[in-house]
């Protein structure tokens, strides 16, 4: 594929703007400045730099963001800045959107993509993609609360009980919850249903992905092909 077409496909502006980046010698491939828009490259996995920013070419982007507090998972936020502002313009130009949502005061692992099929695959309850949340509670956590969360609690918008796939106390006032659903404010409402109150909430795991090796809060990285394959693998039941 022509290099200017690769830049265009990755969200670096209009075709004219991409040609301008090349003409101004702002693009490097394998460390070498490339100024020819017609230079031909295999796009899949191509690594290059634009104005010093490293980039990997993916036909569909999937990125992992360590979401800090104070951002809304919306393209049209109402009260807080959009989490999309933490991403570089090319990803916003491509139309990436969050895979599910985290509240503005919730921190942790957030995936974003421009692949609608992948969003459905990762958010549909029937696929049982686990998400792990670290919960700071207002009141002490006891064995009965853990039992209820594992057995199932009733939320006010659904007569059927909603249960945690996993639940354990991690401290006197903290819980680790594993969920496969994605209902509105689900963790906070489940904790409230057992007589406690959520003071802090952090998503540490999404499927096979964790934040153990970064990125830092407010930073992002591409999800690798190997990680994507693990996300798509059917979890054991």
Bridge partners (DSSP) of residue 153 are 162
Three-point CA angle 164, 80, 114, nearest 5°: 65
> Rounded to an integer, what distance in angstroms lies between the CA atom of residue 96 and that of residue 85?
12
- Which is it for strands 32-33 and 53-56: parallel, antiparallel or unpaired? unpaired
Please give the DSSP secondary-structure letter assigned to residue 72.
Answer: B
Catalytic residue, candidates 4, 36, 40, 103: 103
Helices (H) and strands (E) in the chain, counts: 7, 15
Residue whose tokens read 């059917």? 234
Other CB atoms within 10 Å distance of the CB of residue 25: 10
- Using DSSP bridges, classify how beta strands 131-137 and 174-179 pair: parallel, antiparallel or unpaired: antiparallel
C-alpha to C-alpha distance for 155 and 204, rounded to whole angstroms:
24
For residue 63, list its beta bridge partners: 112, 222
Is residue 40 annotated as part of the catalytic site, yes or no? no
Which positions are annotated as active-site residues? 103
């Amino acid at each position: 594929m022509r290099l200017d077409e690769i830049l265009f496909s990755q969200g670096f502006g209009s075709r004219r703007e991409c040609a301008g980046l090349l003409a101004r010698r702002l693009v490097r491939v394998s460390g070498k400045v490339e100024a020819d828009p017609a230079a031909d490259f295999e796009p899949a996995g191509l690594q290059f730099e634009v104005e010093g920013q490293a980039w990997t070419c993916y036909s569909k982007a999937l990125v992992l963001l360590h979401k800090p507090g104070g951002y809304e998972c919306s393209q049209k936020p109402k009260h807080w800045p959009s989490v999309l502002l933490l991403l570089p313009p090319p990803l916003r130009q491509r139309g990436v959107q969050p895979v599910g949502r985290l509240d503005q005061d919730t921190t942790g692992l957030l995936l974003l993509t421009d692949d609608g099929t992948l969003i459905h695959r990762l958010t549909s309850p029937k696929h049982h993609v686990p998400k792990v949340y670290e919960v700071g509670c207002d009141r002490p956590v006891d064995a009965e609360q853990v039992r209820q969360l594992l057995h199932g609690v009733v939320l006010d918008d659904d007569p059927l009980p909603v249960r945690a796939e996993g639940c354990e106390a991690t401290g006197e006032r903290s819980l680790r919850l594993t969920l496969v659903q994605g209902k509105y404010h689900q963790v906070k409402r489940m904790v409230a249903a057992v007589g406690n109150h959520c003071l802090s909430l952090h998503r540490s795991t999404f499927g096979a992905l964790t934040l153990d090796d970064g990125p830092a809060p407010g930073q992002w990285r591409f999800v690798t092909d190997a990680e994507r394959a693990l996300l798509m693998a059917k979890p054991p039941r």
